[in-house]
Amino acid sequence: MNLTKRAIAELIGTFWLVLGGCGSAVLAAGIPELGLGYLGVSFAFGLTVLTMAYAIGHISGCHLNPAVSIGLAAGGRFKAAELPHYIIAQVIGAILAALLIQCIASGAEGYAGGLASNGFGEHSPHGYSLYAGFVIEVVMTAMFLFVIMGATDKRAPAGLSPLAIGLMLTLIHMISIPVTNTSVNPAVLGQHF
């Protein structure tokens, strides 16, 4: 399949990841008594990856994340020469989704001009330090890549890798939202640290 088609699939997939995950955090998480909360946002991220893995996995491999693309290249499962195309598409998809979220959020009464913030200190939901934020992001990203590499190995059960990867991303968010609001994705990291 040609590289342009695969890059477009990555753009669309990353757009969906950011719209579904970050959109749920911005638009639906904080509604008193009805909001999704941490658990709902965790599932939103996992479900976006799960749905895109089935929709575009056969086209692009459904990386949706520069860290995944780089990890797969380092593991010999992806051509390093194709990294720029994938990473640019992923970043563009993330930016387009962030703009759409901002457009929608700005339609609410009382919109203050910002979106959900990630990071450390005052940008951490529970005030965690830069060190704690860095450690959890590195460990969660490494474990995510570990599961992706194992779940997509030719010896893994056929057809179930999207489920394992989507549930892993859900679990990652359950663990790390309180610390950094979770990133594990450099395509959306710009607003985080």
Name all domains of the chain by residue range, CATH numbers in brackets. Answer: 3-108+115-191 (1.20.1080.10)
User: Each residue of 136-164: pLDDT tens digit?
Assistant: 999 999 999 999 999 999 999 989 999 99
pLDDT of residue 191: 44
**What's the CA gap between 182 and 174, in Å, rounded?**
9
Q: Averaged over 116-128, what is the pLDDT?
A: 85
Write the DSSP assignment of 76-137 as a string of letters. TSS-GGGHHHHHHHHHHHHHHHHHHHHHHHTTSTT--S-----SSGGGSTT---HHHHHHHH
**What gap in Å lies between CA 177 and CA 38, rounded to an integer?**
7
- The pTM score is 0.90
Please tell me the total number of residues recorded for the chain in this structure. Answer: 193
Q: Give CA–CA dist 176/103, Å, rounded.
A: 27
Q: Is the pLDDT of residue 190 over 50?
A: no
Instruction: Tell me the three state secondary structure of residue 3.
Output: helix
pLDDT of 118 higher than 80: no
